[in-house]
Amino acid sequence: MKRATLLLSLLLASALPASAADRLEQWYNLMPKDTAGVIAVRNTPELLADWDKSSYAKFMQDDEAKRWMAPMRKEGDTPWDKFFKDHYGTGMYDTLKDYPGAVVSFLVLNDFAEFGKNPPNVSLCELGGKQKEIEAHKAAEVEAEKKDNASLKLSSTDIGGVSVQIATSGDPADDACFTSWAIVGDVMIESTSRKLMEYMIGALKNGAGDPPGVAREHLTRIGQITNGGGDMMLYFNGVKMLELGEKMIAAEEKKKQDDNKPAAGMNFNIKPKQIMDMLGAQELQAVAFTVELQDAQSRMDVTILHPQKPTGILSIMRGTSNEVTLPSFIPAGILTASVARMDFGTVYDAILGMISKLGPMAMMVTMQIPQLEAQMGFKIRDDLFGSLSDEIIQVQDGDGTKDSQVMGFKVKDADKLGGALEGLKRFAGAGFGAFEESDFLGFTINTLKTTQTANAATEIAYCNTGKYLLISIGTQDTLKKILGRMKDPSGPSIWDDAHVQNLLSLAPKNYSGVGVADAGRLLNMVATAAAALESKAGGKAAAAKKKGPGKKALAPEESATTAAPGGWFDSSARPSNETFQRYFGSLLSASYSHPDAIQMHYLTTPVEK
């Protein structure tokens, strides 16, 4: 797994020109047949160069950020540099500098039980005149492992006419080992499996390996969708994962049958395989994360491959249209906003279709629906969802301690929706609360008042404007801002911001949903939450340490300011909102519904250069 850690580190900061793609494409053609996952980086030097130019690297060099992250350097090195020095002899950046080109690792599994500390994998990297340096890192990795495993031995053997170094605590002829490496031409092969090492030596020498399988097809399609597959990629083979999952479930079911312990009472006996079939697990063919860093933009894509016209859970993730109108009533200056095309009637049908695959349990669920509809006085599918169009908006604002969210649904039939809402109000009033009406700028806001005491963070309200049904969760600040812009649309909306306009111009068109977020504020909220967790952990640790005869408990103010042991951040030195905003600006997200895939696209551009 240490080799995987190195590859994941490469993964976190990669970027390079498309001309470097050839070597990876060649290696993909040599992929072992049982490949379950792939980590790939196209060009390590470009990775480091683009990282140096990125907003993330510049932020970490800012004086405010340095003070905030000082605790993680209390021993002189950051945690990742310490790990690399301990295992490869030099810090992370200096280690990666010795990798002159492309790197790929294939995770090859025949059983989930193999996915342990050191799963079977085989990796390839270009040498480019850096053989001595890279072999030094491998030797340092072996020496580091010897500190925990004194029986580890390094030996040399011949495989297919190639000298192979094998580090293992067992017999070098066995398949599993800690690590092994060999040089074929200008490529280093590394593996934790002798069989995979033998396979890859032959594949590289012959220029051909196992016949291309679905994984190779997946990588080709992912490259088409993401305009080249990105500068780095993390891929999971859903077909292989399903095969391994079904194998594991079958083994568990056999064990239960062997135990022969029938359940007492009514037993619907819903098996894991039924749940997988209900959710459409077999439709999830592949998942890939791709990243590309450039001077002008940073992008990440999440791509899910599936068959055309899926019927499982993936079907409800797909938009209904690629024509999206940006609502002008969403105000500027809020935290996040998004709009998507999704039909709730179709989602409702898909959910009932999935439930129907559960057999007798499905009958119990579906039998309850008519009874519930009779009590509410309207049909869920026809009257509620049937009165709404397929445009959904989501807006959120707040600082992490006081949040305000609004979901909006475009109205198709105002009269039908009004009747359904009145029935819902009567149903709620007969049970656990009542809706209280209030007026705001001529709009009626209905706030749910429950029989139990509720705070502002959980307050629920709705407003039917005739054109949109707006549902508010938390404080009503955001709801009132939206209603204010509906009443008087003067001034800018969130979409009018120059930075957001630039992001929209860079994103591929024909999306089924698009959103924008204040990335600086989001990161500050994450930092605030992390500081609160560290402070809480530090307070508990200090309280536990003080506990005992003759020891006084910590005062509340002491507990609140105690740093967590091993914490990475100084909560008292957290950078300002302005600093986060200066480096990270806005984040745009867009979703695409291809005939055979769902794509989620994330894009940022630097505020300062």
Which two three-digit tokens encode residue 147? 């500190």
- How far apart CA 566 and CA 554 sit, in angstroms, is 20
Residue with tokens 């309280």: 543
Low-confidence ranges of the chain (pLDDT < 50): 1-20, 264-266, 553-564
The residues near 422 (Cβ < 8 Å, ≥ 6 apart) are 377
The CA dihedral of 277, 279, 284, 288, to the nearest 10 degrees, is -150
Please report the pLDDT score of residue 266 as a whole number: 44
Cross-strand pairs, 601? 301, 590
DSSP of 472-508 = EEE-SHHHHHHHHHHH---S-BGGGSHHHHHHHHHS-
The amino acid that residue 583 corresponds to is: Y
HSE on the CB side for 323, CA within 13 Å? 0
Please report the pLDDT score of residue 609 as a whole number: 54
Please report the pLDDT score of residue 14 as a whole number: 38
* Opening angle at CA 135, ends 132 and 141, nearest 5: 145
- How far apart CA 455 and CA 572 sit, in angstroms, is 28
Please report the pLDDT score of residue 570 as a whole number: 85
Contact 497, 585 (CB under 8 A): no
Please report the pLDDT score of residue 571 as a whole number: 79
Please report the pLDDT score of residue 16 as a whole number: 35
Select from 107, 119, 114 the least CA-distant residue to 178: 119
Please report the pLDDT score of residue 539 as a whole number: 57
